[in-house]
Amino acid sequence: MPHAQYRLHVRRAGDAAAVAGALAETLPAYAHVFPADRDAPILVKPNLNANMNALTGNTTDLRLLVALLAWLREAGYRNVTVGEGTNSGFYRNRIGVIERLRVDRAAALFGYAALDLNHAPGVPVAFANGVMAEVARPAMEAALVINLPKLKTHFEAGMSVCLKNLMGCLVGQENKKKTHQSLAANIVNLNLALRPALHIVDALVAMEGLGPTRGTPVRLDTLVFGENPFLIDLACARLAGFPATRVRPLVEARQRGLATPAMDAFLDRLDLPLAAGRPLAPPVAGPLATFIHSPRRQKYFLAVRNTRFFTWLAGTDWFGALLFKTGLRQDVFCREEMQLTGLTLDRAACDDCGACRRFCPAGLDPAAVAATGDRTHCLECLYCFLICPRSALVFHGEPGFLAEQLRQYDTLVRRLDAAGKTGKRT
């Protein structure tokens, strides 16, 4: 769906091969954003909000990331970094989300690096009310930033797509805290400072309900390409059936004249369908979280949350569990790493439905890998294990942090392949 002024493409992609095909078909339309110098630094910015993988609807799909990195390598780009600064709780607990989600292994497949932007040197950027925050220098100085946000509902921002995803470019917990002093305004400020030239929205498995971490995965099999993050977020709101008036960064962008009536008119002409065939469920938090995170009261909560005592208290296991139970915290910060010793195939359970092949980011036949035990080219992302509707792939080892994902999402994720094949949505 291209346009000379507002360039936007919406592509359907139901499996790993289709994702690669969608990129091969669409990226030539954006050739003008790519540097001529094949040694110019390119930063790929996924959404790695937590250690819940993409099939929960929480993080950027490795099928998209691998396909993009393969395209960049084929195009001859040599200086590519996958960079993300995951959220404050994981940073504070020294949990390596990049490693847990196997993003580092995906980058290494192509000789590229993965970088935790929380620990990068910073460049000061102006936030609201005279506040200065540091943005990771690799993001600010890249010749091209490619933004790979996840489409999901978000209990604070309304929706998280292109605009919200750039918060991961802030350095460390202290700078991320500054965003919340005026959340919508500072998200817009961050986008104006960074200005990624290309956005590819991952709506392969989106999230509805209480996002960004405690919602419900919904298979949309959709990718959205474009250059203008305000236009793309408006488009994604329509695809999700979510009122743009409830997306706080878009409301702020309207007030500044960045999300314009001309964009609305352009999207009216496109007449975008609901990607799920219905509106996505909105993020409805519990009464306590709703009360505290109201924009009118949040500054008072932040004044308490940012004290040394509360920071220490929030780092204790018992208080963290209480915050999660009350809905004031979305994540569980498990310190135990996963130890995978192998996957085996339960041949009696396997009906050769092909789900594991369709969802494998590395393009492997996971059943064959499990049968031979040769994981040389396997990312160990466990998409195959998690998606199998008959649980025919058997995990061996210590689940560690994965146990929490299985507790919350095991049944929901195993339904996703059936949803895609029947045309129904979970």
What's the pLDDT tens digit per position in 28-57? Answer: 999 999 999 999 999 999 999 999 999 999
pLDDT in tens, 131-187: 999 999 999 999 999 999 999 999 889 999 999 999 999 999 899 989 988 999 999
The pTM is what?
A: 0.92
Which of 149, 134, 139, 123 is closest to 83 using CA atoms?
A: 139
- Which 3 state secondary structure label does DSSP give 85? coil
Which tens digit of pLDDT belongs to each residue from 62-117?
999 999 999 999 999 999 999 999 887 888 889 999 999 999 999 999 999 999 99
Residue 72 CA to residue 76 CA, distance in Å, equals 6
Angle subtended by helix axes 229-240 and 248-255, to nearest 10? 130
CB 145 within 8 A of CB 24: no
Confidence of residue 293 (pLDDT cuts 50, 70, 90): low
Helices within 180-314 (DSSP H only) = 183-194, 229-240, 248-255, 261-270, 287-292, 298-305, 308-314
β-pair partners for 218: 206
List Cα–Cα distances, 382 to 101, 190, 235, in angstroms: 9, 34, 32
Q: Which CATH class is domain 8-284?
A: alpha beta
Identify the pLDDT of residue 216.
Answer: 96
Domain locations in the chain as residue ranges: 8-284, 339-422
Structure tokens at 149: 């946000």
User: Burial level of 22, CB count in 10 A (0-12/13-18/19+)?
Assistant: buried
